[in-house]
Amino acid sequence: MKRRSSHSRLGLNCRAQVKELLRNVQLPNPWSMNTFIDQLETYRQREIDLCAFLWTPGSATGAWHPYATHDVIAYAENTTPAHQDHTIFHEVGHMLAGHTPRCVLSTTEAEGAAPHLRPAALNHLLAAESHALDEYEAELIATILLAQVAKIRPHGPLQRRVEAVFQ
């Protein structure tokens, strides 16, 4: 009961965090993750680098590492764009909730997995660990955000005005 109620509170917190985020960072219409990340950078006043890597069995599908001046989010490139969006949202969820990842790979191992990134930009990136509760929180935030993206209908300004007036 205690565990369940703490998850209920966490669920409410996640929803509140997403609501607060979407008040300041609108989901672009038509949907574009790059545009969303640009807006998120402006909101957080920190750069975010997206890094695609080839997922192989045994590795994580995504990771996030904060640096002094910027954040790096890695995501598996060998899956569909919508699935990649979820992975990125998951890492954004860690970011929003202020989680602290622990790195378990060396720089050499990380460079081997993503050789196209400059070494200075990629350090201790992959296979960062998070607490199980942190994972739940990030996953819920990602699911809520992706569900919002699913509701986006390509609307021009005319459509938006008509709906605003008549509905």
- List residues near another protein by CB under 8 A: 3-4, 7, 11, 31, 54-57, 61, 76-83, 85-86, 132-133, 135-136, 139-140, 142-144, 146-147, 149-153, 155-159, 161-167
121 vs 147 by CB, closer to another protein: 147
Q: What's the closest the beta carbon of residue 54 comes to another protein, in angstroms? A: 6
Measured CA to CA, the distance from residue 161 to residue 108 in angstroms comes to 53
**C-beta of residue 126 within 8 angstroms of C-beta of residue 105:** yes
Q: What's the closest the beta carbon of residue 67 comes to another protein, in angstroms? A: 26
38 vs 139 by CB, closer to another protein: 139
Q: Which helix (H) or strand (E) holds 49?
A: strand 47-53
Q: Which helix (H) or strand (E) holds 85?
A: helix 81-97
69 vs 167 by CB, closer to another protein: 167
62 DSSP assignment: E
Q: Which two tokens stand for residue 148?
A: 């919002």
**Pairing outcome for strands 62-66 and 47-53:** unpaired
22 vs 121 by CB, closer to another protein: 22
